[in-house]
Structure 1
């Protein structure tokens, strides 16, 4: 399987997330796709009301007034240097998996691991920051597998806030994340910017399918784990 690196790893801005990540396709989810919605209309521009006739123009502040102090620079959370991920471990649910490095298909959907019957390894989206870098690092995994077996991310729903997620990296370091929350989204209302948008610190997203519909044999939802680099 070939991989494509769409380029910048420093997080995905609004225009990129809306324009490139059009589909989130997990082939281990019975072919279901998650269409990401439009990013929304741009905020309207504020327009000052016209001056009332006969009202004198506002005067400027006296030149002797002291200039306003510049606001202090925002202190961003510390992060790690770039280093590609090798393995993912989630001790509380017994997960340990090697990580593939996959990119985007020609139609803008994310490549996912091919299911060979055991749920396949999880994959890291190589267009996102490496785990520990500033921004959201994105990983995908199957919820089910061929032959009725469990996928590598079958138990993501069991994760609770505070659970640790460990990512071993090629430089020998381990990025340790703690779970903030899990969220269930309809594939028709997938919140692209919330999941893939830039963040001040180093964060992690684990994504799988959910909401199996036996009538169609498809998964209607995605389940997403949000985690933050442990200080």
Structure 2
């Protein structure tokens, strides 16, 4: 009788080993499919031009015209808060790439938003430009993942390095194909201080490893 019992244990061990092997193969396959389902790293701003230099507030008004709207002294931003979509992020300064397009913060889910230092500081006359990633292949949702959910009337605030706070209200949220990005509308001179928040959106082009559109939030300084 001892021999049959040993044979049964051997059969069970073999069956258990086979089960573990099958389970491991299944998990590996699922992992590969999951990795493949994620979009590759995003080239977010590959076709988004940088703003052209704006005239100063003195030259942007007609002779004799007074500034009627509230405006703040120049001071770089250091924090952006958008309660409606749960965004509370530091803001770093960014410049331009060698090809003349906007640079971006590091491609990480925890990367801050980036203020283009060639644009006005938030609260000055003209459009201040702040960009951020929508997501990353490795880490998932990034700082501006929910930017498209904003709607007219939502409020946001920018704390500046001089400790003052510029408060804005959203006036419009729009999606534009990158091939037809409306630079004049997004970056053009405004009658008072304004803000533009920009991220990726639309469908994903796997060949170019980029989203096909950009989401742009337009906001104006509150009185």
TM-score by length of 1: 0.68
Aligned: 1:224 with 2:212 = no
For residues 75 and 206 of structure 1, the distance between their equivalents in structure 2, rounded to whole angstroms, comes to 25
TM-score by length of 2: 0.71
Larger Rg: 2
Flag the structure with more relative contact order, 1 or 2, with Cα contacts below 8 A and sequence separation at least 6.
1
For residues 214 and 105 of structure 1, the distance between their equivalents in structure 2, rounded to whole angstroms, comes to 22
Shift of 1:162: 0.9
Shift of 1:218: 2.5
Match of 2:42 in 1: 29
Shift of 1:183: 0.8
Deviating runs (4+, > 4 A) in structure 1? none
Q: Is this contact kept in 2: 1:28–1:143, CA < 8 A? A: no
Aligned: 1:93 with 2:106 = no
For residues 67 and 44 of structure 2, the distance between their equivalents in structure 1, rounded to whole angstroms, comes to 43
For residues 124 and 31 of structure 1, the distance between their equivalents in structure 2, rounded to whole angstroms, comes to 15
Shift of 1:107: 1.6
For residues 79 and 185 of structure 2, the distance between their equivalents in structure 1, rounded to whole angstroms, comes to 25
Provide Cα deviations, 1:29-65, integer angstroms capped at 9, x if missing partner: 34562255xx9xxxxxxxxxxxxxxxxxxxxxxxxxx
Match of 2:181 in 1: 190
Higher helix share: 2
Q: Is this contact kept in 2: 1:76–1:200, CA < 8 A? A: no
Match of 1:171 in 2: 162
Structure 1 residue ranges without an equivalent (≥5): 1-26, 40-70
Q: Is this contact kept in 1: 2:202–2:211, CA < 8 A? A: yes
Q: Is this contact kept in 2: 1:212–1:220, CA < 8 A? A: yes
